[in-house]
A and B are shown apart, each in its own frame.
Chain A
Amino acid sequence: MLLLADQTVVEPFGAVKPLLFYALAAVIVLSAWGIVLSQNIVRMAVYLLLTLAGVAGFYFMLHAEFLAAVQLIVYAGGTLILIVFGVMLTSKNPFMQLKTALWERFVGVLIGLVIFGLLLFGLVHTALPTGAAATGESGGGHYQVAAIGRALLSDYLVPFEVAAVLLLVVMIGAAFMARRSAKQGNG
């Protein structure tokens, strides 16, 4: 897929582009609905896979190949498998049904509508950039990866290191809490 995207930098998808966009959008929106409406957590994970893969498709269309690859590897690959493993290892019955009360749905729908309205308001009233400025096609291809790497180790060096510290905290925190419950079991 990476190769395919690289070749199309010259001729970006042509007339198929709108078609591709709407197809991907449909996949994303429908599977997002699936996540919300499904009551089975394994099914939710599969729908989530479709959503994440669809977003990766968008990134490919925008010639953000690196981002697309990261999206597929980290989210569709890593995070999703983590979720499924988490469910399999912790729950006695992985096909357990998640029931929500009526008022919970009501509150959820309300919050969703508020955020949707907010976003719609913002999008409708803003003149979005079009053409090359919107997609950043000028510097496409694998030069991006070099640029991202350079930015991470120059302009974003401190945030990059903070991210490392953050991961360290998460790792130690998880180990700390797990060790604690093991001790509890013995005591």
Chain B
Amino acid sequence: MNMAEKIAGVWPEIALLLGAALCLLVGLARSVAIRRFTGWIAAASLLVAGWIVAAQVCNAGGVIGLTPYIKLAVVAVGLILLMVAAAVPVQLKMTRDIEAGREPFEPGLVIRGEFFAFFLFSLTGVMLTADASDLVWLFLALELTSLPTYVMVATSRDRVEAQESGVKYFFLGAMAAAVFLYGFALIYGATGQTSFSLIVDAANQQIAAQGRISPLLTTGIVLSLLGVAFKIAAVPMHFYAADVYQGATTAVTAFLAFVPKTAGFVALIALLGLLPDGYVPPAITWLLWIMAALTMTVGNVLGLMQSNVKRVLAYSSIAHSGYMLVGLLALHGSGDALGNGTAAILFYLVAYGLATIGAFAVLGSLQARGEEAETFDDISGLVRTHPVLAGVMLLSVLSLLGLPPMIGFLGKIYLFGSAIQHGFVGLVVIAVLNSAVSAVYYLRIASACFFGDSEGHTVSTPGISRPLAAGIAAVAALILGFAGGRLVSTARDAGGFPTGRNDVVTTPSQPPAATTASR
């Protein structure tokens, strides 16, 4: 693929970048009424980006590959996230008072063009990650995803916790970036190439010459996997998650739970795609196996011990990374519905994203003692004061738990099914046991909402957009759970594309046969 084709592929990203630039400019306006448009600009640029991706898919004959799939998912979930984020500055008077210095400065309550610009920059990074066909490109795209999130966390609240978690997130993120950059350097050193397809060629030559890929290449891939594990909060790199999720405002936390994780898994799929077909060195298999087992166990066990719903959801997000790592082991799929780990991960990312964003949006719709709700006490007895929000919370946690009518159930079936087909039965047993353990804290959230005593200090946040976002996410998780066949077959088609070899001509996938599994 030459550079002209690559530039043609990044038009959605260009749309988002233009939107970000416009947000920055409009955000400079003195009038609050003008600055209110920044949220709409962000939404419009997301819609334009989505429209461009759809047009590209139509031009390509309606086949959705890995890259368009991720981009469409980013647009769809990004719009929901935007609704969660845009809800904050509804009080114009308060904004004016803050700017005049009559009220203490609270970053979450003033309209900031920069916030929406960073929001778009980060989503651009995810899209570019999906486009990456080169190590240099992949590194820059991953960093473009992460850097704006550091600022978003640190500036989301005018509290010491937010700044502390921002600093923590930044330093650990910088260290992780150093680790995977080191890995990239070793991959380059072992093959002499930065382009994914040329690296695969070099690896194939090494196999032809020695019957294995060079240990230096293996070491490089191992280091890269460990570094990228930070983005998905997998076990050796999970320490930041709970503190950062708790320290940031709910809108930013929901963003962190989906966006860097998606970029991380796309990068992991691309990195494992550097290995020649059907050849995974035992060291990498073991690394992923241990990482998956530890990640789900640590996430779920620590999730049991929390008293803060945000922290519970942080550990739940760690645990879900562990489940998706199981799918990573079954990456080189056979193409049928239950055998393709890539497809399972792509599907699960959407399933997990909808459910977790729904839960965070419910928390963001509530206020207790002038702050966003975050403890079990705050949501206790929610069904009596806010029955709809309580219902949404129930749907979200049931989907996270993976109960049958919800989309999370389908997601887990595909993930674990693909792993069983590849012979990782032991790991699947651990995963199923972990799902059972996770029921304890998910149902604790649900029972707090439905059976707890309301203490009456929880009120709803002004504005309709957050409850609406929560509702959309939960209803989507429910409907897709019943009628997920189309999404499943799309994900399977997308996963059927050989990963890491976006340049190479790929064969279109098999006709869909998975619709029956959507029951």
The chain A residues found within 8 Å of chain B, CB to CB, are 115, 118-119, 121-128, 154-159, 162-163, 165-166, 169-170, 172-173, 176-177, 180, 183-184, 186-187
Contacts and interface: CB of A to CB of B under 8 A. Distances in A.
A122 B107 contact: no
B144 A169 contact: yes
Given A126-B190, A158-B10, A180-B155, A166 B3 contact: no
A159 B134 contact: yes
Given A155-B3, A173-B118, A187-B104, A166 B147 contact: yes
Contacts of B222: 118
A183 B137 contact: no
Chain B interface secondary structure, helix, strand, loop or mixed?
Answer: helix
A187 B128 contact: no
Given A125-B215, A187-B104, A162 B144 contact: yes
Interface in B66-101: 98, 101
Pairs of residues from A and B, 6 with the lowest C-beta to C-beta distance, nearest first: A122-B219, A173-B151, A125-B215, A126-B216, A187-B105, A122-B216
Contact of B121 (A119, A126, A154, A169): A169
A183 B105 contact: yes
Contacts of B190: 126
B128 A162 contact: yes
Contacts of A115: 223
Contacts of B121: 165, 169
Nearest to B147: A169
Given A156-B137, A165-B121, 17 more contacts: A118-B222, A118-B223, A119-B186, A119-B219, A126-B190, A127-B214, A128-B216, A159-B140, A162-B144, A163-B140, A173-B151, A176-B155, A180-B105, A183-B105, A184-B105, A187-B101, A187-B105
B117 interface: yes
Contacts of B214: 125-127
Contacts of A121: 215, 219
B433 interface: no
Chain A interface secondary structure, helix, strand, loop or mixed?
Answer: helix
Contacts of A184: 105, 158
A149 B6 CA distance: 19
Given A172-B114, A173-B148, A176-B114, A159 B215 contact: no
A158 B131 CA distance: 11
Interface residues of B, number: 42
B160 to A, nearest CB: 12
A172 B136 contact: no
A164 to B, nearest CB: 10
A177 B151 contact: yes
Contacts of B155: 176-177, 180
A128 B128 CA distance: 33
Nearest to B99: A183
B17 interface: yes
A126 B137 CA distance: 27
Contacts of A169: 118, 121, 144, 147-148
A55 to B, nearest CB: 12
A162 B223 contact: no
A126 B218 CA distance: 10
Contacts of B3: 154-155, 157-158
B377 interface: no
Contacts of B7: 157-158
Contact of B215 (A126, A155, A170): A126
Interface hub of A124, A172, A186 (most chain B Cβ within 10 A): A172
Nearest to A182: B105
B154 A170 contact: no
B141 interface: yes
Nearest to B117: A172
A123 B216 contact: yes
A117 B482 CA distance: 50
A122 B137 contact: no
B24 interface: yes
B144 A166 contact: yes
B143 A165 contact: no
B161 to A, nearest CB: 15
A156 B107 contact: no
B218 A122 contact: yes
Interface string B407-433: 000000000000000000000000000
A154 B101 CA distance: 51
A165 B16 CA distance: 12
B406 to A, nearest CB: 36
